[in-house]
Structure formats: structure tokens, C-alpha cells
Amino acid sequence: MSGLTRFRPAIVLPRCLVLLLAGLALCRGAWAAEADGRKPEGRMIANTVADARYGPHPRNLLDFYQAESERPTPVLIFFHGGGFVGGDKRIAALNPLVVQSILSGISVVSANYRFIRGPQGEPFPGPMHDGARVVQFVRSKAGEWKLDPERIALSGGSAGACMSMWIAMHDDMADADSDDPVARLSTRVSCVVAYGGQSCLDPKWIVENIGGNPSIHPSLRPFYGVQSQEELATPKMQAVVRDASAINHASKDDPPMYLVYGTPLAGTPLPPDTSIGTSIHHALFGKLVKDKYDELGITCLLRYKGHTPEQSEIEFLKEQFKLER
């Protein structure tokens, strides 16, 4: 086991850490609240490896939670939400899908990534490239951490869901000519379970189709590294907008997805006084993917207010990983 401690569901964390994580869930918005109003389960888990460094940036750290298994396990990579300006990997300890995954024999990695604001912030594609690097790093650890490098899924809430969809639909970012062996590994994944994610980050499309507050979200301009909507409308920045929108990378070889949203599909475009939290996590982002995936012949399950697929998220993961249900 290379000195790793297997997952023990009975571990109880210190009260101070419980309070910290609970506060993060409330302040940053756990994926369940962002997606469909459900609260995180009360159960918490302990990581096997904490703060493993996967890159040079101070926030390039991840935690590893190892599932009990005699064989190499599939792995779920989780990215926290927070509008690309906040959040922390430790929220995974409260995440229902993370807990269910580990109890089902699926190991978990929860990663931090660069923010888009602050002295060490970097706009797009910084955070997305960090996420892709996490996939490569996890593959590089397959032997040491007893993982199956061919069974990797992505998950996250809000910004983390946006990242997950972008990485999954993007062409492989492996660099075969790199001197770094990790960079030569594939960024492709088996499937995605995303909560309240944005499949399109084109302000014009969002305002015309989803509606809501014309400013869309406070993170929009810093995400692109611009000061105004006018700057964002230049030809140079429009090319960046197209690249940043996951839906523009969709192709027939993309992995299946299970997308969850807490809003109904009806009622768009939303009125300008709609809360940003509602509009930026709207189910229409999911329908955009569902329609494209249907056209490409790829599985996409879409859950939103008023519609729940027969299959649950954990059942979907087990099926994609070919585990016993």
C-alpha cells in the first residue's frame, strides 16, 4: 500500500475542523445547494493523502481519499465551486457523492486550483489548465495510489462543474514532446457528474437565452481578464470566449455526462431582477449540452427541477466504471 492508510468510515474529525468545513459549505455553497437546494450529508470522511502538490502554483494542491479495494480502483476527481474566486478542496469531506463513491469502491481526489483574482490570480485558461493537470497527475500516481488510469471521472459544483465539462469536452491536452512525463499523459476522462455548471460562457448567449441580471456574474470580467463588456466584445477576446465555452469543444468522442440543476427549464429569458445565483446555475446550460450530445449520439442525463432521471448519480458512475450496482 506504499504506506497509505485505507479509508475508514468511522473516523471522526476534530470539532474545530467540522465547524470550519461546515462554514465553508454555507459560505461558499456546496454543490448540492448550488444545484438543487439539497444540504450536504452529515457524514464526513478523512483523506488518505493531504496537500499533494501537482504543480508550481501555491494553490496547486490536492487531497486523495482511497477506497477500500484489493484491485486498482476507479477515481472521481472533484473540483470545488466558488466563482473561480473562492472555495477549497476540503469541502469534499462533506460531499454526498464523494462519500457514496468511496463506499462504492471509487477513490476520490479533491483539488484546489488557481483563482482568477488576487496577486497570484490568473484569468482563463489558468484554472482550466490546472484542472487538466490534475487529471494527468492522478494518472501518474496510478501505481502508487492503486488507481485504474483508464477509469477517471470528473465532478464539481458551479465553477467546478464548469471546469469539469470544459476538460471533458476539450481535445486531449497531452503534450507528447514535453520534457515533463506528467504533461505527456492524457487529459481525457471516462465520464462527468456536474452540478449547476455553465456549458457556455458567452455573455451574449447567456443574456439572450437565459436572461437575468445583464452583468451575468461578478466573476465574468475577471475570468476573462478584462475591465469592461466592450473589451470583451473585441474580435481577439471573442476568440477567447469561444474557447472558454465547453460546448464549443463537443465532439463524438466525448465522455457521457450526468448534469444536475436546481431550476426548471421553463421561464427563460429570466427577468433582469432574477438573482445571479439562479441565472448562473440555470438548467438551460444543461439542456444545451443535452441537445448537442443527443445530436452526437452520446449519453447525457439531465436532472432539473421537475425532472429526475431513473438513474442516480452514483448509479451512473458505477455503470460507467463497470462496477456492480
- Phi, psi of 273, rounded to the nearest 5 degrees: -90, 10
* Nine-digit cell string for 310: 431513473
DSSP codes, 185-196: S----SEEEEES
pTM: 0.88
For 188-231, strand residue ranges (E) read: 191-195
Q: Among 96, 92, 83, which residue's Cα sits nearest to residue 127?
A: 83
Tell me, yes or no, whether 26 lies in a domain: yes
Measured CA to CA, the distance from residue 206 to residue 106 in angstroms comes to 35
Residues 6+ apart with CB under 8 A from 324: 318
Is residue 9 a part of any domain in this protein? no
Q: Is residue 311 part of a domain?
A: yes
The cell numbers describing 319, all together, are: 455503470
Q: Strand 61-65's sheet: what is its strand order?
A: 49-53, 61-65, 107-111, 73-79, 147-157, 191-195, 257-260, 300-303
Q: What is the DSSP letter of 29?
A: I
Give the number of C-alpha atoms closer than 13 A to the C-alpha of residue 299, restricted to the C-beta side.
Answer: 15
Residue 315 lies in a domain: yes
pLDDT of residue 43: 59
Q: How many angstroms separate the CA atoms of 182 and 54, rounded?
A: 9
Spatial separation of the C-alpha atoms in residues 273 and 297, rounded to whole Å: 37
- Assigned domain for 281 exists: yes
Round to whole Å and give the CA distance between 26 and 296. Answer: 38
Q: In the prediction, which pLDDT does 57 show?
A: 97
- Residue 89 maps to which CATH number? 3.40.50.1820
State the total domains in the chain.
1
Q: Domain range for residue 112?
A: 15-320
Largest CA distance in the chain: 57
First to last CA, the chain: 26
Per-residue pLDDT of the chain (325 residues; tens, 9 = 90+): 334 434 343 333 343 333 333 333 333 334 444 444 344 444 567 889 999 999 999 999 999 999 999 999 999 999 999 999 999 999 998 899 999 999 999 999 999 999 999 989 999 999 999 999 999 999 999 999 999 999 999 999 999 999 999 999 999 999 999 999 999 999 999 999 999 999 999 999 999 999 999 999 999 999 999 999 899 999 999 999 999 999 999 999 999 999 999 999 999 999 999 999 999 999 999 999 999 999 999 999 999 999 999 999 999 999 999 997 6
What pLDDT is recorded for position 219?
A: 96
Cα separation, 204 vs 235, whole angstroms: 14
- Write down the pLDDT at residue 238: 97
Q: Flag whether 10 is in a domain.
A: no
In a domain, 314, yes or no: yes
